[in-house]
Amino acid sequence: MPPRRKPLPNPLPNGYILTDTEKKQWKLGEIIGQGGFGLIYLASRRLDAPVPSDSDFVIKVEYHENGPLFSELKFYQRAAKPESIQRWKKRHGLDFLGIPSYFGSGLAEHNGTRYRFMVMDRLGKDLQKVCAENGGRLKRPTVLTLGCLLLDMLEFIHENEYVHADIKAANLLLGHRDPSKVYLADYGLSYRYCPEGVHKEYKENPKKGHNGTIEYTSTDAHNGVAPSRRGDLEVLGYCLLHWLCGKLPWDSMLKRPVMVQEAKAKLMANLPDSIIELSPSGTSTGEVAKFLLSVKSLGYKERPDYLKLRNILSEGLSKAARKEGPLDLSGPREEARGPTPRCKPMKVKPTAVEAPRPRPPPQEDSGCAAKADLPGRPPIHQRRPKMQPRLSHPQDEKKRQTQPKQMARRVEVYDDDESDNEPNSENQGSPHHPYSLRERPPSKQDTSWGLKHWGGVITILFFLIFVILLVLEPQIPWSRRVVVL
Q: Is 2 exposed, middle or buried (0-12, 13-18, 19+ CB in 10 A)?
A: middle
- Residues 67, 31 within the same domain: yes
Tell me the per-residue pLDDT of 294-339, one tens digit each, with 9 for 90 and over: 999 999 999 999 999 999 999 988 754 555 567 888 887 644 443 3
Instruction: Report d(CA 76, CA 100) in Å as an integer.
Output: 9
Catalytic one of 166, 186, 220, 232: 166
Average pLDDT, the chain: 79
How confident is the model at residue 248, as a pLDDT? 96
CB 231 within 8 A of CB 163: yes
CA separation for the pair 291, 234 (Å, rounded): 9
Are the CB atoms for 116 and 260 separated by under 8 Å? no
pLDDT band at 481 (very low <50, low <70, confident <90, very high): low
Higher pLDDT, 161 or 461: 161
Q: Is the pLDDT of residue 105 over 80?
A: yes
- Has residue 76 been placed in a domain? yes
Residue 143 sits in the same domain as residue 117: no
**Considering the chain, what percentage of its residues have pLDDT values greater than 70?**
69
Reported as a single tens digit per residue, the pLDDT across 397-452 is 555 555 555 544 444 444 444 444 444 444 444 444 443 444 445 444 444 455 55
31 shares its domain with 167: no
In a domain, 413, yes or no: no
Where is the domain boundary, 121, 145, 178? 121
Find the range with the poorest average confidence among 160-174, 306-320, 470-484. Answer: 470-484
Q: What is the mean pLDDT of residues 123-149?
A: 94
Looking at 299, 330, 361, the residue that finishes a domain is: 330
Query: Is residue 148 one of the residues assigned to a domain?
Result: yes
| Residue 247 assigned ligand-binding role | no
Residue 8 banded pLDDT, cuts 50, 70, 90: confident
- Asked whether the CA dihedral 357, 361, 362, 367 is positive or negative, the reply is negative
pLDDT(367) > 50: no
Residues of the domain holding 242: 124-195+207-330
Residue 399's pLDDT is 53
Q: Give me the sign of the Cα torsion angle 437, 441, 443, 446.
A: positive
Evaluate whether residue 226 is within a structural domain.
yes
Average pLDDT over every residue of 23-42: 91
Within this chain, do residues 36 and 133 fall inside the same structural domain, yes or no?
no
- Do 321 and 191 reside in the same domain of the chain? yes
The CATH number given to whatever domain includes residue 79 is 3.30.200.20
Residue-wise pLDDT for 247-303, tens only, equals 999 999 999 999 999 999 999 999 999 999 999 988 899 999 999 999 999 999 999
**Are 321 and 174 in a shared domain?**
yes
164 lies in some domain: yes
pTM equals 0.67
Total domain count for the chain? 3
Q: Let me know whether 293 and 230 are in one domain.
A: yes
Residue 394 lies in a domain: no
**Are both 117 and 128 inside the same structural domain?**
no
166 among known catalytic residues: yes
The reply to whether 283 and 158 lie within a common domain is yes
Q: What is the largest CA-CA distance in the chain?
A: 153
What is the pLDDT at residue 37?
A: 76
The strand order across the sheet containing 25-34 reads 17-19, 25-34, 39-44, 57-63, 113-121, 102-110
Task: Looking at the structure, tell me whether residues 33 and 166 fall in a common domain.
Answer: no
Look at residue 275 and tell me if it is in a domain. yes
| Contact (CB, 8 A) for 286 and 312 | no
Amino acid at 396: D
Identity of residue 198: V
Same domain, 114 and 130: no
Residue 21 scores a pLDDT above 70: yes
Region 478-485: mean pLDDT is: 53
Burial of 26 (0-12, 13-18, 19+ CB in 10 A): buried
**Within a domain: 425:** no
Q: Does the pLDDT at position 395 exceed 80?
A: no
Handedness of CA 68, 100, 313, 126 (dihedral sign): positive
Distance CA 135, CA 130 (A): 9
Amino acid present at 1? M
- For residue 272, cis peptide bond before it (omega within 30 degrees of 0): yes
Domain boundary residue among 306, 330, 354? 330
Per-residue pLDDT, 34: 83
Q: If we measure between CA atoms, which residue out of 222, 223, 226, 205 comes closest to residue 214?
A: 222
324 and 238 both lie in a single domain:
yes
333 Cβ neighbours under 8 A, 6+ residues apart: 134, 135
Tell how strand 113-121 and strand 123-126 pair up.
unpaired
pLDDT of residue 321: 59
Q: Summarize the confidence of residues 172-176 as an average pLDDT.
A: 95
CA distances (Å), 147 to each of 60, 168, 233, 310, in order? 28, 12, 10, 8
- Supply the DSSP string of 158-188, one letter for each residue: HHTT-B-----GGGEEEESS-TT-EEE---T
Q: What's 253's domain CATH number?
A: 1.10.510.10
